[in-house]
Amino acid sequence: MTAVRRAVPEDAGEVLRLRQVMLDAMAPAPTSTDWHAGSLPGLRAHLAEPDGDLAAFVVDRPGRPGALAALAVGTLEYRIGRPGNPHGRVGYVFSVATDPGARRRGYARACLAELLDWFRERGAGHVMLTASAEAEPLYASLGFTRDTDPSMRLYL
């Protein structure tokens, strides 16, 4: 059985490293890491809030103290209720990544299972994510389906 734990502030640098792994896997070319320094203080603060609306579940990299093998990170948000989710709690998974040298061992699945339990415990009516083509089979095996709602974005 894979040992999954909740990430703590001391994991923030490794969480950002694995998020970069995920971002690079989805981009046509590796992206800059310039954003890490600006993101680190806020991430540490959120990881220090055990009852906050952000949770990261991680697996430590065997044989590499201080390194992470995999992670799943998400937030819980409130939206006005609707049919099927009258309480309006929605989970968002926004980072699932495995270190390239630790893949195909079930680490991401174990982290995601813990994150989904965290959402359930907090009353989320549903959970959303954006899936890469490579990760879609994992998400489908956990019950995720394609969403028919169109999505749009505005950068501010």
pLDDT tens string 26-50: 888 888 999 999 999 999 999 999 9
Tens of pLDDT, residue by residue over 38-87, are 999 999 999 999 999 999 999 999 999 999 999 999 999 999 998 988 99
Task: Mention every residue, 6+ apart, whose C-beta is less than 8 A from residue 145.
Answer: none
DSSP per-residue string spanning 76-97: EEE---BTTBTT-EEEEEEEEE
Which residues have C-beta within 8 Å of that of residue 35, sequence separation ≥ 6?
none
Which residues are CB-neighbours of 26 under 8 A, at least 6 positions away? Answer: 132
Beta carbons within 10 angstroms of residue 68's beta carbon: 24
Can you list the alpha helix ranges (DSSP code H) found in 27-106? 36-47
Lowest mean pLDDT among 51-55, 97-101, 117-121, 131-135: 131-135
Model pLDDT, residue 19: 96
Which domains are present in the chain? 5-141 (3.40.630.30)
pLDDT of residue 25: 87
Q: What is the mean pLDDT of residues 128-154?
A: 85
- The pLDDT value recorded for residue 2 is 78
Query: Distance (Å, rounded) from C-alpha 143 to C-alpha 145?
Result: 6
Pick from 20-34, 39-53, 88-102, 118-132: least confident = 20-34
Q: Which residue has the tokens 């390239």?
A: 100
Q: Is the predicted pLDDT of residue 97 greater than 90, yes or no?
A: yes
Residue 43 burial (10 A CB sphere; 0-12, 13-18, 19+): buried
Query: pTM for the full model?
Result: 0.92
Residue that has been written with the tokens 């490794």 in this structure: 14
